[in-house]
Amino acid sequence: MIVLGLTGSIGMGKSTTAKMFAEEGVPVHDSDLAVHRLYAGAAAPKIEAAFPGTVKDGVVDRTILAAKVLGDAEAIRRLEAIVHPLVRAEADAFLKRNRDAGAPVVVLDIPLLFETGGRARVDKVVVVTAPADIQRRRVLARPGMTNEKFEAILARQTPDADKRRMADFVVDTGAGMDAARQAVRAIVAELTGKRG
């Protein structure tokens, strides 16, 4: 089974690209969705203990938590020390299920793949990219997003050019979604040996 790591900086179209892999029949584990589940489950009491006042009705309030950790490297490290092992355990269970089921290729959608040492966990890496002006426009269109927040998030991410250099495959969503879908299909065909 080939484990494909899918990553890309904020606003590059990674979530859309992950859906394209799923539409091609490739099982996808989404780390962001895993975090959402964990914030309403196993991670909530641990996060509340580390960051009092961040959990409401048993669910982590992401806005309050973000206000407590954004721009504070030590707080971010403490949060990651709670969340990353839980996400990793979910991903490991996903890999085992799909290996047992005989899946030829699976995708681990890991936003901070390079930043968290995730490269060692995958066989190949797909980086989703787009021109900087498109990225900025997409991100600033998100509810509650500001230039300051965007810059703080970018500062924690490996630069896009470095990610592309380390990638085995690049999907450019700036060229339009049809082109991105063709790129995804080509990657799946190459990895499974199936030509359309």
**CA distance linking residue 128 with residue 125, whole number of Å:** 10
**CA distance linking residue 40 with residue 34, whole number of Å:** 10
- H/E run at residue 54: none
- H/E run at residue 57: none
Q: Are 173 and 16 in contact (CB under 8 A)?
A: yes
The answer, yes or no, to whether residue 117 has pLDDT greater than 80, is yes
**pTM as predicted:** 0.85
Query: Token digits for 20?
Result: 């394209």
Domains of the chain: 1-27+104-191 (3.40.50.300), 36-102 (no CATH)
Query: Token digits for 127?
Result: 């980086």
User: How far does the chain reach from its first CA to its final CA, in angstroms?
Assistant: 20
**CA distance linking residue 171 with residue 4, whole number of Å:** 13
Q: Are 4 and 124 in contact (CB under 8 A)?
A: yes
**CA distance linking residue 28 with residue 91, whole number of Å:** 10
With pLDDT > 70 as the criterion, what percentage of the chain qualifies?
98
Query: Token digits for 32?
Result: 């962001």
With pLDDT > 90 as the criterion, what percentage of the chain qualifies?
72
CA-nearest of 195, 15, 177, 40 to 109 is 15
118-171 pLDDT tens trace: 889 999 999 999 999 999 999 999 988 889 889 888 888 899 999 999 999 999
The answer, yes or no, to whether residue 182 has pLDDT greater than 70, is yes
Confidence of residue 193 (pLDDT cuts 50, 70, 90): confident
